[in-house]
Every structure is written in structure tokens, then in C-alpha cells.
Amino acid sequence: MDLDNRSVPDPDAQSRRRFLQRTGGASALAVVGTTGATATAVDEDGRFERDPYSLGIASGDPLPDSVILWTRLAPNPYEADGGMPDQKVPVKWTVAETEEMRPVVDTGTVFARPEDAHSVHVDIRDLDPNTEYYYQFTAAGHRSSVGRTKTAPAPSASPEEFRFAFASCQAWYDGYYTPYAYMAEDELDLVIHLGDYIYEYGIGPDGAARDASVPQAYREEPETLDRYRLQYGLYKSDPDLRAAHASAPWLITRDDHEVDNNWADEVPQDPDEQTIEAFLERRAAAFKAYYEHMPFRPAQRPDGPDQKLYRNYTFGDLVEFNVLDTRLYRSDQACGDAFNVDECAARFSEDRTLLGDEQEAWLVDNLDASEATWDVLANQLPFASMDFLRGPEDGYRMDQWDGYVADQRTVKQAFEDYAENAVVVTGDFHSNWASEIRSAEPTGSDADENDPETVGVEFVGTSISSGGDGAEFDDFNGEREGVFGKQVVRENENVKYNNDRRGYTRCTVTPDRWTTEFRVVDYVTERGAPIRTDATFVVDEGDARLRRP
């Protein structure tokens, strides 16, 4: 069987049932069962009347000797309180060497507390480096499915290979999470999520592409903690997302839609309708709900409207990830947050920042100190410059790095000075792109053919579901002649590839080369799409250029 071009088995088939049982999945409900009123799913003796692991299990932020295990007890995921009583509940965790959960490596008990939506974040320590482990939770006699995780290699280790995938942008109402079903079967060392895990928009009564009856409680845009919790309960109830979480450890960062579209520090999307005080209250609620539903370390627990998400993870001497936050510290978008604006002088201002001074200095210091063969930015927004206008005029998108030229130039210079093999992995754009990053220029333009030196490469991954089925090329603006994606590739010498289907991006890293596969499905508005590799690119160690294998 060609594993790279196989179809999703029928959800009713025995093999599919076994797969979902193993990873905690189940068929998605055609009716989202909530009225917005509290309906406790625990009887008077403290026994669960429904599966308390409806949101699945997860692991994340792996170190050589530690990993975070997560679950949230929610027998009714479509209630803000998960159908749980207002009391703490003991949860036993077990870590073992095999999927059969024996021999046991370690076990313990933590409390799931109502103030944290009955979520638990367990820091498992004293593990062996570069080792697979399996884990399981037990609460009130109910056992979760078994999850797989893996620790990072020791800092002094020299791994022969590291395999990871990255994904982003999963609007629930735009389609099914079919790509995650395939990702779950890849047995990866790591999964990176680059943001837009949820979308903060209200959801109509018919569930749009999901064709599910969605109650009134989901109509309004989330602004409160309870409403954000409802959104996560809905999104995380998807069986394919749960399977992917249970299959490997994740590194996670947010983009904008976990809070508000295109927010920037204290500036919401619509400042005329949200005061700073109201937005900071909303941001605090969004950050808390986000933490409650992700396998984060305690350092990522928010303090009101503040949350430190930028962090650094190394995997032996092979690869080092700098996980960025490009929302919390940024200046407001220039020139009205335009998509393809020409002659925007404000984007060149040295006072404008995307990262903030502290995060930028942290990143440059990490690149300087790194001893890894491959230095990676896990980043939300396209980094390599992209001119979106046809002809001699230059048109740039103000929300991405092109709108913050000073920071873009600083990072390019750090690549040039310190990083022998710089790779940027990116989400946000709902389409696949492969680009080379040109050396630092005062204009911020990567497309200058008079300066052909490359200092890194960028892979922008498409969405899981956002935007619906997509197309082979992105016809972004119907008023344009031709097809948008082809035009951008023609206009930008450094941009080598575009595809607008849905999917995820899979990377295999060795000391000698980096291989990226763009994995796509042709539709997400129905179940069962087959998957294929649309394009593969290779980067050879010491040569920051893209080539086809």
C-alpha cells in the first residue's frame, strides 16, 4: 500500500474504530448537545455518567528528562464547566514503557480543580532522554485512552534523524479535521501548532460545513471565560484532533484568533467598540482558557492579560526551536492593516516592533549561542518578503513581518551572522508556500535579484480546515486577472511554490539535510478525503537554498 496516498478508512469500518478507540476518538456528534445551562454529568456518589475524557489527552513541551501531560475532565464538553461539580477531583496518572501500560515507570495523583476548568498539567520528571513513553489518566474509576509521548534527546546527543509536523488554523465550522487523522499515524517526534487553534467568531445554528445543530450559546463572539471555554470544548471534541494530540508531544503557540482577529498588544480589531480596559479583560479570559486546554508548562500559566509564550527547545545538537509570540508585544499594524498596500512609509519606522525589545534580544542571543545544526523559528506570520501586487509597484501585507521591517531586518542579520542553517516554519496564511530568505536589506525586500544571497528558508504551512476546501492555487481576489498564487510566485524571485489545499507540513531533519513534505487533502467539507504529498523540498546543510529532490 502507498501510505502517502491512502484514503481515510470509512468511519464505520473496524480498522477505523480500533484506531479511534486507541487514541480516544469517536464519531463527531451531529448535534452539539448543550443549551447553555449547566447540566452536571456526575451523580451524587461522584461517579461520571459520561466519559470524562471527551476533550482527549495530550502531552507537550518535551525536555530530555521531562514532559507535560494534560487532560481536562469534561463529561459534557458543550458546557462551560464541562458538566463537572464545583469541587476538586483526584486524577491518577500513569507513565509506562509500552502501549499496554507495563511496566509502569511512574504514577501519581493530582487534583483537577474547578477554578482551572478541571484541567490538569502534570510535569513528569526523571525520564530518560530520546525515549518513547505511554501515559493514561484515571478518575473516579474511568480510564482514559492511552497516549504516546517522547522526550527530547540529551543536549550532548547527536540524533541521526528528527521527524516533526506543523499545523495551524482550524476553523471548526469550515470543515473536518481530516489532516489530523493522518498526522496521528505518522509516529512523529514532535508536533508544532502555530496558532489559530480556535476562532473567536460566533457559530451559526447549522454549524456551516459541519452540518451540525449548534445551540444558541455559540452564536455570540467569545469575550468571557465561560464563552472561551465553550469554544475550546467544541473544537477539542473533534476525534481527529484528539487522535493527533494523543500521538506525540506538541509545542504550541498562539496567533490572533485565540483572542481577537489581528489584535496587537492592547489594540483589538475594533478599538472603537472595545475600550482598552474591556479588551484586557477579554484577553485575560482568552489566555486563561487557552492555558486550561493546552499541555503547557507552569511558566506559561497566564497572569491576567499577560502570558509568556516565547520559549526555546533543543533536540540534541541537531535542531533548536525558538517558539515566538508575534501578537502580545507588537506595535499596531501600519497603514490601516492593509493587505497589499504600496508606499507605506510607516512600515520602515525603527520604532515599530513585532517582537518587542525583550523577545527580540532573547531570539538574537539564542541564535548566537546555538550549537545546533538547524536553527528554527516556530513563527505565526510569513517572514520572507512577499510582494502581492502585479507589476512594478510593491504591495505588502501589514500584519506580517513585511509590516515591521526593522524587526525583520534584525532577524535576517542574526541569521546571516549566527545561524548556519536557518529555517522558519510558519502558519496563518491558509496556504502552502516555500521561499528563500534574502540577506538583510534596508527596504526589507527579498525579491531583489541584485542581492541573491540567501540566509535561510521558510516553509509556510496551510490550514487544517480554515477557508474550506481551497484550490490548487489561491485565487485570492476575484478582481485580479489570473490566479493569485501563480502571480505571487512570478512576482517574487525568492518564492518557489504555492498551493492552497488544506493539510499539514511534515519535516524530516538529519545532520546533512532538511526535507519538507507538503501534505494536502482535496476537501475538508466532507469526511474521508485521501491525502497526498503535493510537493517536497530539500535544503542541504550549509546551503540555504531550496531544491526539489
Per-residue pLDDT tens for 131-155?
999 999 999 999 999 999 999 999 9
Task: Give the pLDDT band (50/70/90) at residue 40.
Answer: low
CB of 294 closer than 8 Å to CB of 349 = no
Q: What is the pLDDT of residues 224-276, one digit of tens each?
A: 999 999 999 999 999 999 999 999 999 999 999 999 999 999 999 999 999 99
Q: Please, what is the average pLDDT of the chain?
A: 91
In this prediction, residue 451 carries a pLDDT of 53
Indicate the length of the chain as a whole number. 549
In this prediction, residue 339 carries a pLDDT of 84
Measured at the alpha carbon of residue 331, what is the angle toward residues 330 and 332, in degrees to the nearest 5? 115
- Beta partners for residue 48, in sequence order: 42
Domains of the chain by start residue, with CATH:
153-540 (3.60.21.70)
Task: Give the pLDDT band (50/70/90) at residue 393.
Answer: confident
CB of 462 closer than 8 Å to CB of 431 = yes
Write out the H or E segment, with its range, that includes residue 246: helix 239-247
Interatomic CA distance for residues 73 and 216, integer angstroms:
24
The residue ranking higher by pLDDT, 545 or 340, is 545
Predicted structure pTM score: 0.92
CB of 75 closer than 8 Å to CB of 101 = no
Interatomic CA distance for residues 381 and 344, integer angstroms:
19
Three state DSSP letters for 84-120: CCCCCEEEEEEEECCCCCCCEEEEEEEEECHHHCCEE
In this prediction, residue 33 carries a pLDDT of 56
Across 92-119, b (16+ Cβ under 10 Å) vs e yields ebbbbeeeebeeebeeeebebeeebbbb
Res 31 pLDDT > 60: no
Q: For 372, phi and psi rounded to 5 degrees?
A: -80, 150
The whole-number average pLDDT for the span 45-71 is 95
Write out the H or E segment, with its range, that includes residue 531: strand 531-540
Q: What is the pLDDT of residues 472-483, one digit of tens each?
A: 765 555 444 336
CB of 484 closer than 8 Å to CB of 161 = no
Out of 178-192, 200-214, 516-530, least confident range: 200-214
The whole-number average pLDDT for the span 412-416 is 97
In this prediction, residue 483 carries a pLDDT of 65
In this prediction, residue 19 carries a pLDDT of 36
In this prediction, residue 4 carries a pLDDT of 33
Res 448 pLDDT > 90: no
In this prediction, residue 531 carries a pLDDT of 98
In this prediction, residue 481 carries a pLDDT of 39
Cβ neighbours for 159, distance < 8 A, ≥ 6 positions apart: 130, 153, 315, 316, 318
In this prediction, residue 484 carries a pLDDT of 77
Percent of the chain residues past pLDDT 70, beyond the cut: 88
Q: What is the pLDDT of residues 200-219, one digit of tens each?
A: 999 999 999 998 999 899 99
Q: Per the structure block, which three cell numbers stand in for 289?
A: 482558557
Interatomic CA distance for residues 132 and 142, integer angstroms:
24
In this prediction, residue 549 carries a pLDDT of 95
Interatomic CA distance for residues 91 and 105, integer angstroms:
17
The whole-number average pLDDT for the span 305-323 is 99
Interatomic CA distance for residues 69 and 294, integer angstroms:
10
Interatomic CA distance for residues 177 and 183, integer angstroms:
10
Measured at the alpha carbon of residue 512, what is the angle toward residues 509 and 513, in degrees to the nearest 5? 50
325: nearest Cα among 353, 289, 297: 353
Out of 8-12, 15-19, 357-361, least confident range: 8-12
- To 10 degrees, the CA torsion angle through 528, 532, 534, 539? 130
Res 191 pLDDT > 50: yes
Res 94 pLDDT > 50: yes
Res 27 pLDDT > 60: no
